[in-house]
Amino acid sequence: MKKNRAATAAAVCGALLITGCSSDFGSDSSGEQDSSGKQELTVMIGSSGDAETNAVKAAAAAWAKKTGNTVTVTPAQNLDQQLGQALAGGKPPDVFYVGSSVFANYAKGNSLYAYGDKLTDKEDFSATLRSSFSYDDKFYCAPKDSSTLSLAINTKMWKDAGLTDADYPQTWDDLAKVAKKLTKGKVSGLVVNSSYNQLGPFLKQAGGWITNADQTQITADSPENVEALTYVKKLLNDGVLSYPKQVDAGWGGEALGSQKAAMTIEGNWLSGAMTNDFPDVEYTVAPLPKGPKGQGTLSFSTCWGIANKSTHHDAAVSLVEAFTTADQQVKFADEYGVMPSRASALDTYARKHPQDKAFVDGSAYAQGPVTLPGFTKVLEQFDTDLAGLAKADPKKILGDLQTNGEQVLKSNG
């Protein structure tokens, strides 16, 4: 993604490389509940900017007016660090953003109130998103939005290369061919972040993934995953795929916007960045090409966490319900560019934003992230290894991922 957030586990649990975070962030038990009439709630968010902050504050104010309660919304400067400290200190906000990459650490540490099954129409959230925020078979928290990955293409470069809509790549071979055709001078045909967050779709398209479906086994060193990384390595060595730093860019969106890349693989967060930073660059979004085993993309989300130690559980659940109604999710989408997490809201979003069709369609077959407790460091090492993929052995990279992942799985018991 544009910015890979630092793992809260690192801040709270110290420098644990491949072991689970075993210390809890406070108490096993919930806080003593406030039974008074008026509730004063605090909300901490990791905001993308003023538009998101103002949208959340407006939604909170509307709920407060309706219920007679009070809500204070605070955008964190560093969400993972501030939230980790607040949880460890025993005085957390009542409601807060929780990324899927750190969710399981919080759940294992007894920091989160498991309220997911109390939500109205919980099945309206996709099974993938519910799974991303479930731990020990409990659905903990409501996904606040959703993101998938697609192929973003510089429209002018595409046309200048003599390509049309009929040439959008349908297969890996197609992708390699158009990437080669678009690679000219200082322009790379395809720029992709050297992270499993962007390269992960190739694993799925080859029929592989890092774990099995219920995350009880590590499946990293499979022939399918080797095939996927071998394909990416060939694109790198053929000079048609570059990592952002190779074209002096911070991420794929910047490479596309600064016209150093003809194509990139990014999520629907790209829209806001292009509008704000590169408004004159025209681009289109197409589905990722199919691999040997079919379609594949990744799903990302953040949930509305409620602190186990909060003394306002009922009011907090009511607030989250207000934040996640279909109508409110569509408002959030319009105001700061996220994609709804409710299927009913996603249908409305798709009609209002036809340019994002590829992102929306990807929700039907997207793979959620690995959410095992203590797995963040394993994935950070995997990302480090992927950065050197051009000169490395895919089997060795995946073998190390397998070993490290199995150690975490074992430590989780």
Residue 256 sits in the same domain as residue 382: yes
Residue 260 sits in the same domain as residue 182: yes
For residue 8, is it within any domain? no
Residue 158 sits in the same domain as residue 251: yes
Residue 292 sits in the same domain as residue 363: no
Q: Which residues pair with 190 in a beta bridge?
A: 241
Q: Which tokens hold the place of 187?
A: 């322009």
Residue 76 sits in the same domain as residue 54: yes
Provide, rounded to the nearest whole percent, the portion of the chain with pLDDT above 70: 92
* Residue that is written with structure tokens 């960045």 in the block: 273
Does the pLDDT of residue 82 top 90, yes or no? Answer: yes
For residue 15, is it within any domain? no
For residue 4, is it within any domain? no
Residue 199 sits in the same domain as residue 336: no
Provide, rounded to the nearest whole percent, the portion of the chain with pLDDT above 90: 83
Task: Give per-residue pLDDT as tens, 97-143.
Answer: 999 888 999 999 999 999 999 998 999 999 999 999 999 999 999 99
Angle at 117 between CA 115 and CA 121, to 5 degrees: 120
Residue 170 sits in the same domain as residue 200: yes
For residue 283, CA distances in Å to 97, 131, 153, 339 come to 31, 33, 5, 19
Does the pLDDT of residue 251 top 50, yes or no? Answer: yes
- Side-chain half-sphere of 220: how many Cα atoms within 13 Å? 21
State how far the Cα of 386 lies from the Cα of 141, in Å rounded to an integer: 32
pLDDT value for 26: 45
Please check whether residue 296 is in contact with residue 288, taking contact to mean a CB–CB distance below 8 angstroms: yes
For residue 339, is it within any domain? yes
Q: Can you give the residue range of the structural domain that contains 83?
A: 37-146+301-367
pLDDT band at 90 (very low <50, low <70, confident <90, very high): confident
Task: Give per-residue pLDDT as tens, 147-198.
Answer: 999 999 999 999 999 999 999 999 999 999 999 999 999 999 999 999 999 9
Residue 278 sits in the same domain as residue 309: no
pLDDT value for 31: 65
The tally of domains found in the chain comes to 2
For residue 21, is it within any domain? no
State how far the Cα of 132 lies from the Cα of 135, in Å rounded to an integer: 8
State how far the Cα of 402 lies from the Cα of 395, in Å rounded to an integer: 10
pLDDT value for 300: 92
Cα diameter, the chain: 69
State how far the Cα of 192 lies from the Cα of 196, in Å rounded to an integer: 10
| Boundary of a domain, candidates 332, 350, 367 | 367
Residue 257 sits in the same domain as residue 400: yes
Residue 42 sits in the same domain as residue 115: yes
Query: Highest mean pLDDT range out of 32-46, 217-231, 337-351?
Result: 217-231
For residue 25, is it within any domain? no
For residue 177, is it within any domain? yes
Residues with Cβ < 8 Å from 162, sequence gap 6 or more? Answer: none
Segment 278-291 mean pLDDT: 97
Sequence length of the chain is 413
Residue 138 sits in the same domain as residue 173: no
For residue 286, is it within any domain? yes
CATH code assigned at 134: 3.40.190.10
Please check whether residue 150 is in contact with residue 269, taking contact to mean a CB–CB distance below 8 angstroms: no
pLDDT value for 387: 98
pLDDT band at 293 (very low <50, low <70, confident <90, very high): very high
State how far the Cα of 248 lies from the Cα of 250, in Å rounded to an integer: 7
State how far the Cα of 206 lies from the Cα of 224, in Å rounded to an integer: 5
Residue 183 sits in the same domain as residue 226: yes
Task: Give per-residue pLDDT as tens, 2-40.
Answer: 433 323 323 333 322 223 333 344 444 566 777 677 899
Task: Give per-residue pLDDT as tens, 266-282.
Answer: 999 898 889 889 999 99
